[in-house]
A and B are shown apart, each in its own frame.
Chain A
Amino acid sequence: MIELVAERLPFVAAIILMMVGLYALMATGNLVKRMVGLTLFQTSVFLLFIAMGKVFGGGAPILDYKKLKADSLDPSTLYANPLPQVLILTAIVVGVATLAMGLALVVRIREAYGSIEDDAIAEADYAIELEKGV
């Protein structure tokens, strides 16, 4: 059992981070904290991807140019898979854009409602609904 977990340590870490993120997302009523949880949740997936690209004993996937020219590359050399890292670079950009969008919305919500707490916002909206009957 311990061996099983130890072999997959990065995945365990990813799962724990993911659950912490999801919990933070649901447990707090503060919109900024909610964004923190969301970002943590997204970041855990980055770890999952990076971990899957790692090959035991593999180094950085950079070929020795001189050896490549001389056609004397050792075919048994192990390299980590670079593709997941490239994908995650894209995903990080996407994540940053989402985070920026979310925080911008929080700023606007603060301006419109004077609060970033879920309860206060719901209360303010409920007051409108009572008044307008929507």
Chain B
Amino acid sequence: MFDPVFLPAAIAAHAPAILVAVPLLLSTVAAAQPSGKVGWALALTGVFVALLCAIELVFATRAEFAVVSYAMGGWQPPFGIEFRIDGLNAAILLLLSVIGLLALIFGAASVEDEIGKSKRSLFYAAFLLCFSGLSGVAITGDAFNLFVFLEISSIGTYAIIAMGWRSDRRALTASFDYLVMGTIGATFFVIGVGFLYMATGTLNMADMAVRIGELSGNRVVEVGFAFILVGIGLKAALFPLHLWLPNAYAFAPNFVTTFLAATATKVAFYVIIRFSYDVFTIDSGFVANAMTFVITPLAIAGMLIASAQALFQADTRRLLAYSSVAQVGYMLLGLGIATGAGVTAGVLHLLNHALMKGALFMALGAFAISYGVRRIDDLKGLGQAMPATSAAFTIGALSLIGVPFTVGFISKFYLVQAALGAGWWWAVAAILASSVLAVFYCYRMLVALWVSPPLSPEHRPNGHVRKAPMTILVPMWILALANLWFGIDAGPMVDLARTAAEAAINGGLAR
């Protein structure tokens, strides 16, 4: 076991299990509560406990190649289910619980605005299911267990996306489309796991990694990898498989969009790293080819095409959703470069993107509460009406473009460096072209915000204007300032990303 840093030793020894089990169990309690406030408090407790465990695990995996292995129920791996945490998933868990906590604080007011009174505690129960499912995906070391957690999180996600039906009934069809595509993706994943099991006879990922190393050139294993890549690619919104994402983000409640945009695709992206770098090794020609000839072209196509699509959106959240698809492209490009620097840049962008999208969607949530803003035209003149929120939104948008002194610049800088290190000048050109497109779509929103004359009151979507409460403004400003802080002092984020990349490439599950 590991030396606990601040939790009592008895709890720290079970931190991996507590991280997943507490939110999962609290979701059943939350579902039985008549009052939405109690449901919210339970959700907050669950996510806070998860955050404490995640911090503990990050400290435990700071050392080089440190791995925390937890045998679930005392059944020793590879036979029992193993929770296995190294630098890579510790970073993901930390991101997940920090964003979860901030989003929940933000959500208190936002959910009250958008969800019916009798449904609130059920909504938080579904959120806790989604949260614990995502952390389960990130923490588990068992391939089939990963599928089960993936489906737990997905079912919670479908429910909370559909809860946006009160403001727009298209949330229902968006959720249904996501359900169909998400299930196909998860089924593809399970087919892939089946093939791997056929060839290796094990489901434990570390064990699998050893046996796949012995089976070099086995076609069954390669087909299994392809199935897994496509299945998880669907969940991660890898470019041609992203069709579920824009509508799901545009019509879900603001709280859900904030949480999902900052976490859900990230966890799927983690699974791609885990399978392509750990379970399989990038040294095998097969995976290296998949990275160079499948992932990289799709990443670049996503960066350019999704950014171009974002230019023509009228709905603010849909615009940011298309931009998310483009940002997934940046992360995947980091993977495609397939060097230590590339993976570091990919993970760094993953963390940074959560900060910027979190800030942007929270600011949109604040606008929505005050003025019912949904379309870009509704943003007109809000710079004068809500200067503080508009400023936070602007910081997020500048970070999205990649302006110096924001986190967006740092991750693009590392990405460009990694691409140049591999001699991929054309990838640099694509990054720059996509950034230019980002300038244009952010420009549209910022001009509406700061320059356009205000809409006359009768054109406002909301007749009555309410002040956005502090519970929305505080998490929004924390994220916005984090964008600036880590843009100037990039050290902590880069360290986190570098440890993660080293754990993925060098540590490997096989050791």
Residues of A within 8 A of B (CB): 22, 25, 31, 34, 38, 41-42, 45, 48-49, 52, 83-84, 87, 90-91, 94, 97-98, 101-102, 105-106, 108-109, 112-113, 121, 125, 128, 132-134
**Which residues of the other chain, A, contact B180 by a CB distance below 8 angstroms?**
25, 34, 38, 102
CB neighbours (8 Å) of A22 from chain B are: 184
A128 to B171, CA, bound (A): 14
Nearest chain B CB to A68 CB, angstrom units: 19
Residues of B within 8 A of A (CB): 144, 147-148, 151, 154-155, 158-159, 162, 165, 169-170, 172-173, 175-176, 179-180, 183-184, 187, 190-191, 194, 197-198, 203, 314-315, 374-375
Choice from B151, B162, B165, B184 contacting A38 with Cβ under 8 Å: B184
Hey, which chain A residues are within 8 Å of B191, CB to CB?
Answer: 45, 48
Chain A: interface secondary structure? helix
| Known interface pairs A22-B184, A112-B172; 9 further A-B residue pairs with C-beta atoms within 8 A, sorted by A's residue number | A42-B187, A45-B187, A90-B148, A97-B151, A101-B179, A102-B176, A105-B158, A105-B162, A121-B173
Tell me how far the C-beta of A15 lies from the nearest C-beta in chain B, rounded to whole angstroms: 11
| Docked CA distance A97–B198 (Å) | 26
Q: B144 contacts A105, CB within 8 Å?
A: no
Asked if B194 contacts A52 (CB within 8 A), the reply is yes
Report the separation of the CA atoms of residues A42 and B158 in the bound assembly, to the nearest whole angstrom: 18
Closest to A105 in B: B176
Q: Given that A34-B180, A101-B155, A101-B158 are known contacts, is A134 also in contact with B148, CB under 8 Å in the complex?
A: no
* Most interface-central of B180, B197, B375 (chain A CB within 10 A): B180
Q: Decide if A133 touches B155 in the complex (CB within 8 Å).
A: no
Given contacts A41-B184, A112-B169, A134-B315, whether A94 and B148 have CB atoms under 8 Å apart is: yes
Would you give the shortest CB distance from A46 to chain B, in whole angstroms? 10
Contact (Cβ within 8 A) B179 A98: yes
State the majority secondary structure of interface residues on B: helix
A102 to B147, CA, bound (A): 18
List 28 interface pairs A-B (beta carbons < 8 Å), by A numbering: A25-B180, A38-B180, A41-B187, A45-B187, A45-B190, A45-B191, A48-B191, A52-B198, A83-B203, A87-B144, A90-B144, A90-B148, A91-B147, A91-B190, A94-B151, A97-B151, A98-B183, A101-B158, A102-B183, A105-B179, A108-B172, A109-B173, A112-B165, A113-B169, A121-B173, A128-B170, A132-B375, A134-B314
What residues of A have a CB within 8 angstroms of the CB of B151 in the complex? Answer: 94, 97-98
Residue of A nearest to B375 (CB): A134
Give Cα A90 to B170, complex, Å. Answer: 32
- Measured between alpha carbons, how far is A13 from B315 in the docked complex, in Å? 46
Kindly report which residue of chain B lies nearest to residue A102, judged by CB atoms.
B179
When the two chains form their complex, are residues A42 and B183 in contact, meaning their CB atoms are under 8 A apart?
Answer: yes
B197 CB → nearest A CB, Å: 7
Least Cβ–Cβ distance between A4 and chain B, in angstroms = 15
Contact of A105 among B172, B197, B315 (CB under 8 A): B172
Cα separation A106 to B155 with both chains bound (whole Å) = 15
Contacts of A84 in B (CB 8 A): 194, 197
Select one of A83, A91, A108 contacting B162, CB under 8 A: A108
Which of A25, A38, A98, A109 gathers the greatest number of chain B CB atoms within 10 Å?
A: A98
Most B CB contacts (10 A, CB to CB) among A31, A49, A94 go to A94
CB distance from B166 to the nearest CB of A (A): 10
CB–CB B170/A108 < 8 A: no
Return the chain B residue nearest A14 by Cβ: B191
Instruction: Say how far A82's CB is from chain B's closest CB, in angstroms.
Output: 13
CB distance from B147 to the nearest CB of A (A): 8
